[in-house]
Amino acid sequence: MLEALMKIFGKEKKSSREIARNRLKVVLVHDRASISPEVLDNMKDEIIKVVSKYVVINKNDMEISLANDDDSVALVANIPVSRMKHG
Amino acid sequence: MSEVIVITSGKGGVGKTTTTANLGVGLAMRDKRVVLVDTDTGLRNLDLLLGLENRIMYDLIDVTEGRVPYKKALVRHKKYETLFLLPTSQVKDKSAVNPEQLVKLCDELRKEFDYILIDCPAGIEQGFQTAIAGADCAIVVTMPEISAVRDADKIIGELNRADKDSIKLIVNRIRPQMVEKGDMLDMDDINDILSIDCIGQVPDDEKVVTSTNRGEPVIAMNDSLAGQAYRNIVGRICGEKIPFMDFPKDTFFTRLKRVFGIQ
Ligand SMILES: Nc1ncnc2c1ncn2[C@@H]1O[C@H](COP(=O)(O)OP(=O)(O)OP(=O)(O)O)[C@@H](O)[C@H]1O
Ligand SMILES: [Mg+2]
């Protein structure tokens, strides 16, 4: 019901203009930085080094990428933690 | 003081040649001395858009290879007497001219002309590098479409790399009704994404096609929206402050008119 109402008022989904804007923002960050897989890998290794000082992580499942959040671009690192290190 | 402006885009078919022809005519209508240099060797079109295709004797390659002085290769426009075309060869390819030759040519042309507009080929290869070599500033033409905007960004990066820091943007083929419905990027979106000053927005206009058919750039047509947009850009190039135009809105009446086939 609510969905039907939203449809009538044209708010049911993002406009293609907004989608284009967001996709462009992300792709241009990639293009401009021209982050090669190599650079991304190096960055990943260094992050692992730092984070491993404090927590035990599952290196193989770690993911690092650029993503867009509505209006901004973020470097997103997904680091599965196995357990905290003590002392 | 003369200015060398390269009209470029990265992506093909977005309106570089159309822009070059219109700005050239517009500047000549203001009595500026203008020369348009076609650097799209092998795929020349600027002569057609200006209606000068039957008057070409020599071309850019004859000039850069020293066979004739540039003055012999210039074609004067029939109607606008301060407007000249330096056509390129339709049989040679982009490797026939190099950047040094174009810099030298531009420096010679500066002595005679107020504006030297260079129509750049698509792409970022040698033809592009040659076209931008002698330019003081660049106009990047794009369309409200993601691939064209992405390519424009790439070109802006290449221009920066070549130390061409004076860059302006033209957004061509805007369809106001689609923008209004949220189905097309508008000038502000693109401005925001590319962070480059806009010098104009040109609507998609059938009159561009009919005027191209005739070889008479649309800028001379008083009843064309695209023509008005180009006149505004020419004014801005000449240093005037001209607000960006509002496109006619899609109202109940314009829709009704469409339904009944008026307009
Ligand atoms: N504002 C406009 N409204 C409608 N049609 C347009 C507009 N601008 C350009 N066009 C059409 O788009 C086509 C491509 O234009 P044009 O040849 O100027 O592009 P280009 O960037 O020079 O292409 P190329 O990369 O092949 O050199 C032409 O058919 C032209 O008539
Ligand atoms: Mg062209």
| Residue of B26, B20, B106 lying closest to B60 (CA atoms) | B106
CA-only gyration radius of chain A, Å: 19
C-alpha of residue A81 to centroid of ligand 2, in Å: 55
What CA–CA distance (Å, rounded) separates B122 from A61? 43
Q: What is the percentage of chain B residues whose pLDDT exceeds 70?
A: 94
Confidence at residue B176, expressed as pLDDT on a 0 to 100 scale: 94
What CA–CA distance (Å, rounded) separates B67 from B69? 7
Four-residue CA torsion sign, B231, B232, B236, B239: positive
DSSP letter, residue B93? -
Q: Which two tokens stand for residue B36?
A: 């348009």
Strands A63-69 and B75-76 turn out to be: unpaired
Strands B83-86 and B3-8 turn out to be: unpaired
- pLDDT-derived band at A61, boundaries 50, 70, 90: confident
Chain B segment 105-164 residues within 8 A of A by beta carbon are: 146, 149-150, 153-154, 157
Are B185 and A21 in contact (CB < 8 Å)? yes
According to CATH, the superfamily of the domain at B3-262 is: P-loop containing nucleotide triphosphate hydrolases (3.40.50.300)
Chain B segment 3-42 residues within 8 A of A by beta carbon are: none
In the structure, ligand 2 is a single-atom ion and the residues with CB under 5 Å from it are B 16-17
Confidence at residue A36, expressed as pLDDT on a 0 to 100 scale: 72
Confidence at residue A71, expressed as pLDDT on a 0 to 100 scale: 62
Burial of A35 (0-12, 13-18, 19+ CB in 10 A): middle
Q: What's at B90, amino acid-wise?
A: Q
Confidence at residue A12, expressed as pLDDT on a 0 to 100 scale: 58
Query: In chain B, where are the structural domains located?
Result: 3-262
Confidence at residue B206, expressed as pLDDT on a 0 to 100 scale: 96
Burial of A81 (0-12, 13-18, 19+ CB in 10 A): exposed
pLDDT in tens, A1-55: 555 555 555 555 789 999 999 999 988 987 887 667 788 888 888 998 998 888 8
Q: Which residue of chain B comes nearest to A71, CA vs CA?
A: B193
* Ligand 1 atom nearest B119 alpha carbon: 22
Query: In chain A, where are the structural domains located?
Result: 35-87
Please give the model's pTM, rounded to 2 decimal places. 0.84
Confidence at residue B138, expressed as pLDDT on a 0 to 100 scale: 98
Q: Is the CB of B205 under 6 A from ligand 1?
A: yes
Q: Is the CB of B11 under 6 A from ligand 1?
A: no
Q: Which two tokens stand for residue B73?
A: 């290769």
pLDDT in tens, B200-215: 999 999 999 999 999 9
Q: Is the CB of B16 under 6 A from ligand 1?
A: yes
pLDDT in tens, B129-168: 999 999 999 999 999 999 999 999 999 999 999 999 999 9
Residue ranges in chain B whose pLDDT is less than 70: 250-263
